[in-house]
Amino acid sequence: MVHKGQNGLFDALTTKGTAFTREERAELGLLGLLPYAVKTLDDQVAHTYQEFSRRRDDLDKHIYLRALQDRNETLFYRLLAGHVEEMLPIVYTPTVGEACERFSDIYRRPRGLFVAYPDRGRLREVLRNRPNRDVDVIVVTDGQRILGLGDQGIGGMGIPIGKLSLYTLIGGIDPARTLPVVLDVGTDNVERLEDPNYLGWRHRRIGDDEYYAFVDEFVTAVREELPEVLLQWEDFATPHALPILERYREEMLTFNDDIQGTAAVTLGALQGAARVAGRPLAEQQVVMLGAGSAGIGVLEMIRQEMVAQGLSDAEAAERIWVVDIDGLLTDDRTGLSDGQRRFAQPAERVEDWDGTGLADVVHRVEVGVLLGLSTAAGAFTEEIVREMAGKTDRPIIFPLSNPTSRAEAHPRELDEWTDGRALVATGSPFAPVERGGKARRIAQCNNVYIFPAMGLAVTAARATRVTDEMMRVAARTLGEASPALADPAEPLLPAWEDVPEIATRIATAVAVQAVKDGVAPEMSEDEVAEAVRRTRWTPEYR
């Protein structure tokens, strides 16, 4: 629908701004509302990039881009598409972390839905107030575990906004068919509660009984209002994340990106690394530092892949070691979640060890893969890394914690401590590492390799569920695109400028798998590929 006059000029989804032609201005009642000059979209991109480049710091650049998105979505995405590598860290991690912390300070215009606990009993009304009727993808958070920054309350809304920007930029989801949501159930962040500018419900977080009832009311409203929508859970705290996923994954089209998306992108990078190392994943000893929902999700997908490579469940479990703040997870420990207990080693297996910390595990086990999702900065020490590197020719080391300040190690250190032999992927962006006079780009295990493709796949295929095999197919397809397979000196994951094309490839493979799994209507592979192509939105003026 094309609006006329002021309404059309200020509709961010359809406006062309100064690119409206003279004929369009006359037809749409815009004469006199714009300066006389008519610009092209490319002219506008050049101008906005110049303005972006003048901003003094990353947060200022983030604010500028969000304002541009509020003003003209087509121009916003066209600008990002021409500068993916430069702008991805500004729109999303790591800059989005500071934007979440400062959300109430930098708030300008509403975007999405703020679903507050005091409005319980009226959530269908809240959903009906959504800006656009037809929605393909919802990203929802409760703001409790924002990156490695903890509870940000309503400030967590920055995450769904940023995430959905990438669904569009990388996955081609029509921005008019996306909806960011924050569940405002209070915050335990005293700094937020005492901040006079804080825009959320000024209340401590509600208890679990009230919390799960509220989540259930929200999901019920979504299913009634938007029964075919993809609902993605984002940045929920460990005690809530997996129970919520398990509660709803068989009832609706849903997944948790921290659990499943992180797992898929990590597995994709691992598969490339394992092939470069010349040792299949099923033959590796894997150590994970961090036993939160993201870490357990990664290990669950690794376990499934090991089984797919021929191991039994028990054999796969024997090769996986999980360390948290209290040491190695063992079956005699109390207070473990069901997910953690699946990876707890038999206590008798380590009864003669002097300790069960990370250094002890690396000392006692022939570790080939070391992963970190702990937010414990510097936890991969020189001593630990050098000992690991003494046991394997190509140590695979992934410090995956966000933001950069929480990384378990920096790539430059890992390169130095392993004499350039380490196969490295990180969770945050890092500068290239210099070795032998050549700058080597560091792969970032950013979920953007996976979740936009999942959104495109399920939308194109009209899937009703997200299966484990769909996620593993996404990981395998990403692993097959690893530049390191052609040249071991290259990074483990594709360059950012190639990600939209890779996303289309992943989406097609996932959609084909959805048909095979019986969760999407019957289509041939050619029909799937055409559906994916037809679904992609591109930032062009209509």
User: In this model, does residue 74 exceed pLDDT 80?
Assistant: yes
Strand partners for 230: 137
Contact 91, 162 (CB under 8 A): yes
Identify the sign of the CA torsion 413, 91, 293, 202: positive
pLDDT at 437: 86
Q: What is the mean pLDDT of residues 296-306?
A: 95
Of 257, 296, 276, 293, residue with least CA distance to 447:
257
Contact 154, 114 (CB under 8 A): yes
Instruction: List pLDDT tens digits, range 192-242.
Output: 999 999 999 999 999 999 999 999 999 999 999 999 999 999 999 988 998
Look up the CATH number of domain 93-252. 3.40.50.10380
User: Is 163 among the catalytic positions?
Assistant: yes
201: how many CB neighbours lie within 10 A of its CB?
19
pLDDT at 362: 98
**Is 7 annotated for ligand binding?**
no
In angstroms, rounded to a whole number, what is the distance separating the alpha carbons of residues 49 and 75? 11
pLDDT at 425: 98
**Is 132 annotated for ligand binding?**
no
**Is 145 annotated for ligand binding?**
yes
User: In this model, does residue 148 exceed pLDDT 80?
Assistant: no
In angstroms, rounded to a whole number, what is the distance separating the alpha carbons of residues 297 and 260? 6
Q: What percent of the chain has pLDDT over 90?
A: 92
pLDDT at 288: 98
Q: What is the mean pLDDT of residues 252-261?
A: 95
Under DSSP, is residue 71 helix (H, G, I), strand (E, B) or coil? helix
- Model-level pTM? 0.92
5-89 belongs to which CATH class? Answer: mainly alpha
158 — phi, psi (to 5°)? -60, -30
Q: Which of 34-43, 44-53, 166-175, 437-446 has the lowest average pLDDT?
A: 437-446
Contact 174, 537 (CB under 8 A): yes
**Is 415 annotated for ligand binding?**
no
Domain with CATH 3.40.50.720 in the chain: 260-446
- Mean pLDDT for the chain? 96
The active-site residue, picked from 163, 211, 248, 449, is 163
The active-site residue, picked from 16, 61, 77, 92, is 92
pLDDT at 1: 63
Instruction: List pLDDT tens digits, range 364-411.
Output: 999 999 999 999 999 999 999 999 999 999 999 999 998 788 999 999
Under DSSP, is residue 372 helix (H, G, I), strand (E, B) or coil? strand
What are the E-state strand segments in 234-289? 254-256, 286-289
End-to-end CA distance of the chain: 11
In angstroms, rounded to a whole number, what is the distance separating the alpha carbons of residues 234 and 380? 27
Domain with CATH 1.20.1370.30 in the chain: 5-89
Token pair, residue 500, equals: 């939209």
Residue length of the chain: 542
Domain with CATH 3.40.50.10380 in the chain: 93-252
| Contacts of residue 10, Cβ cutoff 8 Å, sequence gap at least 6 | none
CATH 3.40.50.720 fits 260-446, yes or no: yes
**Is 234 annotated for ligand binding?**
yes
**Is 130 annotated for ligand binding?**
no
pLDDT at 149: 87
